[in-house]
Structure 1
Amino acid sequence: MSLDADDMRIHVLGIGSIGSLFAFHLRRALPESTPVSLIVRKRRVYQNINEDQGQSIRVERDGHTEHMGGFDREVWEVASDQLFSLMYDRRGRVKASTDKASDPYMDVFHLSKEELKARGRPKQPEIGKATTIDSLIITCKAPSTLPALQRLVPRLHSNSTIVLLQNGMGVYDSIVDRLFPDPNKRPHFVLASTTHGVWAKGPLSVVHAGVGNFSFGIVPDPRGRRDHEASLQHGFERLQLSDISSDPRNDLEFRTLHGTIQALLTLTDLNPIWDPIQWLNVKLLKKLCVNCCVNPITAIMNITNGELLGSADAYYMLRSVCREANAVFRAQARAEDALVPATVALAHLHPHKLEEEVTRVIGHTSRNFSSMLQDMRNGKPTEIEYMNGYLMRMGQKYGVPTPVNNLLRSMVRLKSSIGQATELPGAEKWWHPLSDLPRAKPPPPTKLTAKPPPFKRFSML
């Protein structure tokens, strides 16, 4: 099926298990006139593609393996990404200051401004050509999304379209706050979620183990130029592409959004569902609650998902997480920037319904290892800050206590940091979190607590 915006190129950032699956089906569903580019951040992955797989993606399903080639590729080394983040701000301008403490997670090179200018700006990837990005599908892990997208900001424009497909919540908020604070210069955003089960056999070689669906929704236009869900108000049961644009070839502002949604709808083997944004947010919040229950406990205990069933202690923790999540969702629904209306939150995000969803997912994935456990085993950063950490931050924002989620977050962070060297500033080396608290006066001594008299040694001679 050809797209109405037939000159649009689709880029895929993050070619892990989910990214490989979606890139495979995009290339199979779209005509050759619509290029699909893979943005690779490791040269080793690119070499494996060329040497082992003939520049193709392999997907195995029900014992049958299919190959799909015809991708364009860009290779950006991770070290180059870190250097770019140090040298340039979010708009691609040379930073005025290179203070090491300004961004401890990305600024790994401590260079002077003169040294930075001497190195020059890395405008092109090591392999491939950097072109303007019209449509970008991001499937990398939540912690990697912001730094990976930071490099691509100079290639995006206000009419570009970005699809976010990650676990957890808060990625969109962090991107908007740090990279696109100006609504007039902000690209179109599409939020997505999937229930497909995929695991990687190797670089660009995945097994499609569980067939689910793929839901997505369009973030409302911050400038209010167009209502993408107008058809629902006119008696239609489904959303219509004409709500985005009736003439996408000549509509420069919404051409890429129309083409991206049209491309996603062609992925029939992935069972695409175009949802109104409020209903998609309900799905995202439900999935967030499931992730907050399953991922941290299985990662801490080093068990499969199914081992959570049948344990009274595990059930108590799952139930507590669901109740805290419901309290946060209800408080969030009453706020001005609510993701879902209060009536919808009460009907679909009730604690009992959240518990039912958690139990259903655990039973359906009983033999699986959670993504957080796999990240821990592979020494990779976890997505805990976008799961239980998100609930903790929202609880603090709306005055809702979340003690169980706070504890699970701390336990995951502790287990992830064990065995890793941490460097503290000099002033913090000798500081203890309890040192500034006022000390209570000791109780008066009693016969049992009174200090005994000093021991005297007697001589027998």
Structure 2
Amino acid sequence: MSSTALHAPSHRIHILGLGNLGRLFAHALAKTDKTTPITLLLHREGLLDEWEQVGQKIEVTTNGIPDQTGSFDVELVSREGPQDVIDNLIVATKATQTTSALSAIRHRLTSASTVLLTQNGMGTAEELNEQVFKDPYTRPNYLAGITSHGVYSQGPFRSVHAGLADVAIGRVGRVGQSTAPQYLVDKIVQATALSAQEVSQPELLLLQLQKLVVNAMINPLTVIFNCRNGELFSRGPIIQVMRQLLREASQVIQSFPDIKSDPVSISRFSEQRLEGTVLDVAKKTAKNTSSMLQDVRAGRETEIDYINGYIVKRGKQAGIDCTNNEKLVHMVKESLVYLLRAQKVL
């Protein structure tokens, strides 16, 4: 009998990636149920020192009121560290770091494990299947979370929950999966601060694609024009650029098998409907600085390959010209390279 068969499922939740989103999930879960064991997975020793310096607590400020949660267990991810099975894992790393981060703990995940992916963009699950969990019968169960909350950092393990919104969570199917796990879904839905709702797999895909388009229009353009979301579409020429990008994105999404066979979905992803959605989000988040612009200003790698890059990739597969989105991918990457050179990092 295998060790997996002998393993008794645990209610412990592990969180990998302690940036703003990871902190928000950890804080919300701890506040809702103090009996739920939560382990923070740290990827470098320096984070252990920072954890000690902040008093072993996560602080999230909401409506100007700072609130701290503690009682977390902490592990340093390493071959010498704990080797027990991880049953419930929230992955809050950047999309660019997800594959390498999960590779480091692949041996601790089984076909009974549940992995929630919270990254921006699309294509992360497919990348994991190709590079980390190649056998569809032994890979973990995937969940995907679409987060609309606005969160920014105030330092190590300290964040501000600036834009209160919601989370949609659903299952990403896999071959051989008969009964999908519910424990992690329930815990996240119960976490009041997350305002989370479980959605069906078809609806999850629609929400993912809708957010993909919004991110593909707002994030990279705020990088190119170096402005907040609300300033972006106050200029006519920028709206024209957005429409060119949107036309390509609409054609690509409407070519998806699950979309093109449904007239309602075709209408949902028309250029006109998508433009209204993008402008509405830009207005509601007018004071926000997009995560991509924050990354570029901080000299960090962006998630552009999983946003506009994903549109370009699917466009090439469908034979749809996505020249404008492809140019935008290169421009964002060049902006980062230019900044790093200016800072004499390169």
**What TM-score do the two structures reach when normalised by structure 2?**
0.92
Partner of 1:124: 80
1:396 aligns with 2:316: yes
Task: Determine helix, strand or coil for the equivalent of 2:66.
Answer: strand
For 1:150 and 1:293, how far apart are their aligned partners in 2?
31
* 2:277 counterpart (357, 378, 383): 357
* 1:147 counterpart (85, 100, 107): 100
Specify the code of the residue in structure 1 equivalent to 2:277.
E
* 2:145 counterpart (185, 189, 192): 192
For 2:63 and 2:340, how far apart are their aligned partners in 1?
40
1:367 aligns with 2:287: yes
Query: 1:417: how far off?
Result: 2.1
Partner of 1:35: 37
Q: Which has the higher helix share?
A: 2
- Of the structure 1 ranges 372-381 and 39-48, higher mean CA displacement relative to structure 2 is found in 39-48
Relative to structure 1, the CA distance from residue 191 to residue 272 in structure 2 (aligned partners, 3 Å threshold; closer, same or farther) is same
For 2:12 and 2:167, how far apart are their aligned partners in 1?
21
For 1:401 and 1:375, how far apart are their aligned partners in 2?
28
CA-based RMSD of the aligned residues comes to 1.8
Query: 1:322: how far off?
Result: 1.6
Runs of 4+ in structure 1 off by over 6 angstroms are none
Partner of 1:204: 157
Partner of 2:266: 346
Specify the code of the residue in structure 2 equivalent to 1:148.
A
Specify the code of the residue in structure 1 equivalent to 2:19.
G
1:45 aligns with 2:1: no
Check the 8 A contact 1:17/1:200 in 2, yes or no: yes
Partner of 1:457: none
Partner of 1:415: 335
Specify the code of the residue in structure 1 equivalent to 2:25.
F
Q: Compare CA radii of gyration and give the structure with the larger one.
A: 1
Partner of 1:285: 209
Query: 1:26: how far off?
Result: 1.0
State the identity %: 33
Check the 8 A contact 1:217/1:276 in 2, yes or no: yes
Query: 1:6: how far off?
Result: 8.3
Relative to structure 1, the CA distance from residue 340 to residue 124 in structure 2 (aligned partners, 3 Å threshold; closer, same or farther) is farther
* 1:17 counterpart (11, 20, 34): 20
**What TM-score do the two structures reach when normalised by structure 1?**
0.70
Check the 8 A contact 2:10/2:87 in 1, yes or no: no
Specify the code of the residue in structure 2 equivalent to 1:55.
Q
* 1:385 counterpart (287, 298, 305): 305
Structure 1 runs not aligned, ≥5 long? 77-121, 227-243, 245-256, 422-461
Cα deviation 1:250-271 (Å, max 9, x = unaligned): xxxxxxx221112112112221
Check the 8 A contact 2:21/2:151 in 1, yes or no: yes
1:26 aligns with 2:42: no
Task: Determine helix, strand or coil for the equivalent of 2:18.
Answer: coil
Query: 1:341: how far off?
Result: 4.8
Partner of 2:183: 259
For 1:46 and 1:206, how far apart are their aligned partners in 2?
18
Partner of 2:5: none
Check the 8 A contact 1:281/1:339 in 2, yes or no: no
Task: Determine helix, strand or coil for the equivalent of 2:256.
Answer: helix
For 2:256 and 2:193, how far apart are their aligned partners in 1?
35
* Aligned residue-pair number: 334
Query: 1:23: how far off?
Result: 0.4
Q: Which has the higher strand share?
A: 2
